[in-house]
Structure 1
Amino acid sequence: MLKVIAIICMLIDHTSIVLDPFIPNEWYDLYKIGRMIGRTAFPLFCFMIVEGYYYTRDKSRYLGSLLLLAIISELPFDAIFSESGFKLEYDNQNVFFTLATGLFTIILLDNVNKFMKSISEKQRAYLGYALKVANIILQFFIIIIMTIGINYLKSDYGVAGLDLIVMIYYFEKIPVLLKRFDGRFDSNKAKFIFAGLTVLFWLSYYDYNIGRINELMGFPAVILIWMYNGKRGDYKIPKYVFYFFYPVHLTVLYFIRKMLAGY
């Protein structure tokens, strides 16, 4: 259900962008409403990247699928947002490069964390503490390197998008620490509450940085994450439908605009 809601919000957002030049001035509020609805999509995609990491059986295949989709989607993405037709542009890459970078980052972080923990548990107390500190430093170093990389990549949402994925990954671990004080924290519900609060903080911080209310219109994503029960839905929709919806809908929107405006 979260995937369905996310792609519907994304479709409304991109349709609003494509049809913007053809919307009469008296109906311009429709464009703004469409763009506001679209703000819900990206936080949901980031949340599902983290959830997908935990539930997928083959993390390398998951990452490869995202990268392949990012490459396939780049041409229709450029056609829509650069207005130069079906030509590759390098000033801005599509959002799946951001999602793939975020997934790769948490794969690195989680593997380093597990490796360092496995070593520290076999050492004496003072060495264990030193290894924990080294673990923190190493994870911080990974985040810095990936931040520099995505900044050069210039993908949609860029560093801010990477930050959201990493923040969800870390903040979902807080209940594991708190369960020592109260067993009620040992639940998916507690984890998703912290994930929703993370998204709310990110939405607010993003808008603070740009100096206007924009991403906060994605607040419904917070509510939807809080409502999530951590289980796979009953919809029998093949997963590749969700993957290929992105490049296909961009291509369709491009040809609609071309029929209407000739570019």
Structure 2
Amino acid sequence: MQATEKKGINGYQLKLLGAALMVFDHIHQMFYWAGNVTWMHMFGRSVMPIFLFTCAEGFYHTGNRKHYALRLLLGFWFMSIVSPLLMRSLPIDEPQIVLMNNVFGTMFISVAAMWGIEKLKNKEFVKGTIVLVLPILPTFIFNALLNANQIGLALLVQFAVPSYMGVEGGFLMVLLAVWFYLSREKRLRQYLGIIALAALSAFSYPDFTWASLFGGNHQWMMIFSIIPLYFYNGKRGKGSKYFFYIFYPAHIYALYIVAFVLLKTGV
């Protein structure tokens, strides 16, 4: 008798859902000036946990971790070069729109941290320690260059070398990805990690009030990422592994260019 396949959504479908929610979030980012589209921003709060979850799954399943990490690093470098060039060529100053998006860096550092932990588990203590410590160094170098008033070199380090503190979402998002990896197949523990980070985001908000949860502070809404993760069936799914690498920067730059054209033409 053939085993019944577990129902739910696979990893590729989970990425597609994350991509759809991401589009909503970036429409808000590029067109917040056109009207009240805060609900799109709310939808987008689930995106980072979803992609960090798939990153942890991807690290586990990939047949070549070096290639996986390299793809993420190349994506980070691509956006580090193109984003500032696009903002300089097509500046949007009033209202201001800044292209700070580069989740490739967050995912690359997360993969590096997972890799380091795995090496420690395998008693490769020197290699594991080096892999875990290296992403700390760019922050020290960046701060040292700033203190020496070497602004250009400091920015070069920030854009060229991902670090725990310098990536999108910062250290806490890297920590969440690592938690997903350490708690793999222990779904309740993964949910508790999301809940803990959501609570921290809510209650650490400056001048916190209950009303602020639906006012200026929406990051806690990442808690709703638990819903699609609950339906994940553990299967990778079939689809292009390069889709996200292309779609992520392409849709951000397309939306930015549309916003530039609309603002410059007075629409």
After superposition, the Cα gap between the structure-2 partners of 1:257 and 1:76, relative to the gap in structure 1 and judged at 3 Å, is farther
After superposition, the Cα gap between the structure-2 partners of 1:86 and 1:63, relative to the gap in structure 1 and judged at 3 Å, is farther
Tell whether 2:30 aligns with 1:18: yes
Q: What are the equivalent positions in structure 2 for 1:137-148 lying under 5 Å apart?
A: 143=132, 146-147=135-136
Residue from 212, 222, 225 that aligns with 1:221: 225
* Counterpart position of 1:67: 73
Say which structure, 1 or 2, has more relative contact order (CA 8 Å, 6+ apart).
Answer: 2
Q: Would the aligned equivalents of 1:78 and 1:84 in 2 still touch at CA under 8 Å? A: yes
Unaligned runs of 5+ in 2: 1-12, 92-98, 143-157, 159-165
Tell whether 2:181 aligns with 1:169: yes
Q: Would the aligned equivalents of 1:76 and 1:254 in 2 still touch at CA under 8 Å? A: no
**Quick check: 163-172 or 53-62, which moved more?**
163-172
After superposition, the Cα gap between the structure-2 partners of 1:250 and 1:166, relative to the gap in structure 1 and judged at 3 Å, is same
Q: What are the equivalent positions in structure 2 for 1:16-165 lying under 5 Å apart?
A: 16-23=28-35, 28=36, 31-78=37-84, 84-85=88-89, 94-115=102-123, 143=132, 146-147=135-136, 149=138, 153=158, 154-165=166-177
RMSD over aligned CA atoms reads: 3.0
After superposition, the Cα gap between the structure-2 partners of 1:68 and 1:145, relative to the gap in structure 1 and judged at 3 Å, is closer
Paired-residue identity, %: 23
Between Structure 1 and Structure 2, the one with more helix by share is 1
Equivalent residue pairs, number: 215
Tell whether 2:192 aligns with 1:203: no
Taking the aligned partners of 2:177 and 2:33, their CA distance within structure 1 comes to 33
Displacement, 1:206? 2.6
TM-score by length of 1: 0.71
What's the CA shift string for 1:60-103, capped at 9, x where partnerless? 000000111112223454478xx54469xxx9562211111111
Taking the aligned partners of 2:194 and 2:130, their CA distance within structure 1 comes to 23
> Match for 1:262: what amino acid?
K
Taking the aligned partners of 2:234 and 2:137, their CA distance within structure 1 comes to 33
TM-score by length of 2: 0.70
Unaligned runs of 5+ in 1: 117-134, 173-187
